[in-house]
Amino acid sequence: MTDMFEQFQGADLKRLIKCFEAIDRAGLKVDQDTDAGVNPNSGNVWVHNPEWAGCVYCSIGFDIGWVWTCCNCGEEYFFDTYREMEDFAQEHTDKTDWSACDACFEKEEV
């Protein structure tokens, strides 16, 4: 990983701090597998760990959100809290042996 201060400067660093605060409130742990970045399309700062149900992000407007991404089709689902995202991810992982979203199942039925 590059030096954190090369990647996060100014407002991006402030958004990263907000992500870490949200991670702490959700009771999640940050470890050597945790990764962070800035989405070049949206400008959102995100933090992810493979042990979590999804990732946290902070928008340019400093709003915190959580996103679960279907590993099958890439569809993204957005949530206000980690708990909501975790419940959604658990529900969708239980449908099959792999994580899949409603969009995947709609495509298979067509």
Q: What pLDDT is attached to residue 110?
A: 46
72, amino acid identity: N
For the chain, the domain total comes to: 1
- What is the separation of C-alpha 92 from the centre of its chain, rounded to a whole number of angstroms? 16
Residues of the chain with pLDDT under 50: 1, 110
* Upper half-sphere CA count for residue 36 (Cβ side, 13 Å): 24
Contact 68, 88 (CB under 8 A): yes
Instruction: Name residues whose C-beta falls within 8 Å of residue 81's C-beta, 6 or more positions apart in sequence.
Output: 26, 66
Measured from the Cβ of residue 107, the count of other Cβ atoms closer than 10 Å reads 13
Backbone angles phi, psi at 62, to 5 degrees: 65, 30
Residue with tokens 């907000």: 18
Question: What residue numbers bound the domain in which 83 lies?
Answer: 4-109
Q: What pLDDT is attached to residue 71?
A: 79
